[in-house]
Amino acid sequence: MEMTLKTRRAILLEETMMTITLGPMNRTSAYMFGSSSEGTTTKGINSDTDYLKCYHNYNVIQDYAEWKLGFSNLLMIQNNTTSPGYCHLQQIYSDIPLPATHVLDEDHVRDSSGRLLLKNTLDRGIMPAGMVKHGPSMVKLGIPGVVESDNVLAFHCKSWPYEARAWLDRQGIGRWPTADMKRFAENNGCFVVPVGSKVSQSPELEWRISTSQAERCLMFSLNITQIRCYVLMKMILKTFLHHAGEGKITSFMCKTVLLHCIENTHVNAWQESNLFTCLSCCLHVLYNCLQQENCPHFIIPENNLMAGQFSPEVKALLLERMFHLIQSEGQALLGIQIDELGQRLQIKLNRLYQIPENIHSKQRICLRISGGLLMSTVAVISRCINEMLSRTIQNNPVTTLQNLLIVKTNYERFYREGSRLEQRASSLLAPLVYSTLGTIIASISIHENNTIPQEALDWLSEGLNSDVASGRLKLASVFYSVGKMVETEFILRNTKGHYDFNKVEPVCAGYAFKGTVRVLPRIAAYHQNEEAVKSVCALCIKFIPAEIHCVPRELQYEMFRSTQEDLQYRDEFYEYWMDWAVVDSLPYLYFLQYKTYRHLQRFDDQQQALANLSRTIGIEMNVGHRETALNLLGQCLEQENQPNNALYCYMISLRVRERNNAAKVHICRLLANLVGAQS
């Protein structure tokens, strides 16, 4: 249960970071729903997380009393033509609480009663290129190494749906859900998401009513036996009931069955010693649902989750498999290979006399989970900063600076006035903003008179401890840019002292974390939670165009990486950073050391830094921007008068990233220099 609570806290923190970053900019809130946020998954199950973005420019209402001036008001309509659990959205004027009468655009259609309805294909107009629709979700596919996620668009309705009001008065045998849970649900309203029922006659006009917040509240109330029962159901589903065709039993159906079973049994039945009986009860209910092709939604029971889901052939196949599962009286669990469950059960039943070496202890599992949560948290930190920067950047550095000061003010307001989660989230994000503020101010001043204002140094100092290295390396870059090599060397030496190779994990938000988290970061994450970001994580360093005069010349090439032809191959949804200079902390540390020692004429140290840079590129698995590190190494080798080795680095860089790579410029420049030297 400890790890479940730790997981939930981490997910809620990540959700809060996204909301306080993006919300003030575009009136959105971010939510992370699904098994990952509930702590009801395992590494082997590998459940998805749905990122739900709620757009508050749209005000969904059930009554004209909820109408708001200046918003796109949408009235929920349910009648004989809408499927249970779904609704139509009628467009209402934003300046007067009356139904809109004229067609606005292709996203609206007039129904037989003359009402102007919003189609659920609205999100296709804002869907980035390359995204595909999976139900209500937008999913990006085909980017190697990039973390994939489901993104769901939603609008919020502050009032609890009329269709679900009977649930507020429903009372189960176990007096669960409690009155407090139902009060929370009623006070938080619902979402509508753009997807129609599979049995609808007008699927493009229907919007699904989502009670995800209420459902998460219910899941957070479960005890460890109930959670284990749900996890086992999903393992059974994945092992024995997986069907490649269109119709399949989903984990949400399993969750719904579990909630019905909890509501209709006494709470004292859900004890650890009674786990198998509870699981059998759930499987029997799921079997009956499948047999009747009716799995009633827990909160809106008129919504049949199995309606139109199964062909007769698939239904017969699944019923047969479920019958054998139930008849096995638990023996089938021994055949589950996910997380080595079957093997672990056999050990527990004393059917094996030797424990294989790959069976992890509880402590090791807790450390692994803690390490994974830390990597997820730091990736969200970096992703929030990336998205914030992409929205604040302007062509004029002064305008960019002004926008960033507004972001800083928002974070500080959340820190002073917000909830505990908002305070913690802002304390993790603000230092990275401070570093960027300091670097922009320094860049403007360096461009004008080659000086560093005290204001810039103050902000850079505030951002030093954002993580192990990125804040310090930004400060070192500023000093390097004005030729203060002694100060630069001191900061680099200090940074290297903090960068314990056994303790620090490099993290890049845009790429999936490879391998496993080292032992010491796991221990730090277990004891310190997200605070470990500052002591064991090294974020990429990001220089936006407004910081260009604080960027070494060799790294500035990365801001001009694309030819006109390359621009067509950019993925604007994921690769908005390509006009920035982005580099991993450790390669950049060694590059700056090489350049600084060269200026200080400390040639032995210079060569050691070059060797360290080369070795890091070769052996460190989690270098997200390896092509950039190779480009820096190549330029260092050119300065060492090793053009062949430099050319080799650029060629390897192009293998890492074929398009949008500054290596093309370096190759042309290097070859031109060689030809010029020979003529």
**Cβ-proximal residues to 425 (8 Å cutoff; 6+ apart), any chain:** 13, 16, 17, 20, 414
Domain 552-679 part of CATH 1.25.40: yes
Cis, peptide link before residue 643, omega less than 30° from 0: no
**Residue (of 443, 537, 174, 576) closest to 567 by Cα position:** 576
Asked if 650 and 634 count as a contact pair (C-beta separation under 8 A), the reply is: yes
Half-sphere exposure of 414 (CA within 13 A, CB side): 24
Predicted local confidence at residue 639, as pLDDT:
96
Distance CA 118, CA 202 (A): 12
Domain range summary for the chain, segments of one domain joined by +: 34-214, 552-679
Residue ranges of the alpha helices (H) in 94-200? 165-169, 179-188
Q: Is the pLDDT of residue 533 over 50?
A: yes
Interval 381-395 mean pLDDT: 91
- Concatenating the DSSP letter of every residue in 541-597 gives EEE-GGGGGGS-HHHHGGGG---HHHHTT--TTT-GGGGSEEE-HHHHHHHHHHHHH
What confidence category does residue 246 fall into, taking pLDDT thresholds of 50, 70 and 90?
Answer: low
Least confident of 146-160, 229-243, 540-554, 609-623: 146-160
Instruction: Find the mean pLDDT for residues 351-359.
Output: 49
Compute the half-sphere exposure of residue 367: CA atoms within 13 Å on the CB side of its CA: 14
What confidence tens digit (pLDDT) does each residue in 434-448 have? 999 999 999 999 999
Residue pLDDT, tens place only, 111-136: 888 899 999 987 665 544 444 444 45
**CA distances, 456 to each of 426, 439, 463, 634 (Å):** 21, 7, 11, 32
Distance CA 462, CA 416 (A): 17
- DSSP class of residue 204? G
Contact present, 43 and 370 (Cβ < 8 Å): no
Residues whose CB is less than 8 angstroms from the CB of residue 158 and which lie 6 or more positions away in sequence, other chains included: 66, 189
DSSP H or E stretch at residue 25? helix 2-26
Structure letter (DSSP) for residue 2 = H
pLDDT of residue 510: 67
Residue 388 above 90 pLDDT?
Answer: yes
Model confidence at 655: pLDDT above 50: yes
Task: Give Cα 245 to chain centroid, integer Å.
Answer: 28
Q: What is the CATH number of domain 34-214?
A: 3.30.460
pLDDT tens string 203-222: 999 999 999 999 999 999 99
Over the chain, what is the mean pLDDT? 89
Cβ atoms of 295 and 257 within 8 Å: the answer is: yes
> CA dist 428 to 415, 531, 550, Å?
10, 8, 24
- Answer yes or no: is pLDDT of 244 > 80: no
Q: Cα 577 to the chain's mean position, in Å? A: 17
Decide: 469 and 437 in contact? Cβ < 8 Å: no
Residue 303: pLDDT above 60? Answer: yes
Q: What's the pLDDT at 128? A: 47
Tokens 């500023």 -> residue: 478
- Residue 53's contacts (CB-CB under 8 Å, 6 or more residues apart) are 22, 28, 29, 30, 31, 151, 152, 153, 154
At 334, list the tokens: 């021994």
Tell me the residue length of the chain: 679
Determine the Cα–Cα distance for residues 673 and 42; give it in Å rounded to an integer. 56
Spatial separation of the C-alpha atoms in residues 300 and 211, rounded to whole Å: 9
More confident residue, 23 or 557: 557
- Position 566 scores a pLDDT of 86
Confidence of residue 493 (pLDDT cuts 50, 70, 90): very high
**Which band of pLDDT confidence, cut at 50, 70 and 90, is reported for residue 150?**
low
Report whether pLDDT(76) > 90. Answer: yes
- pLDDT (average), residues 32-54: 83
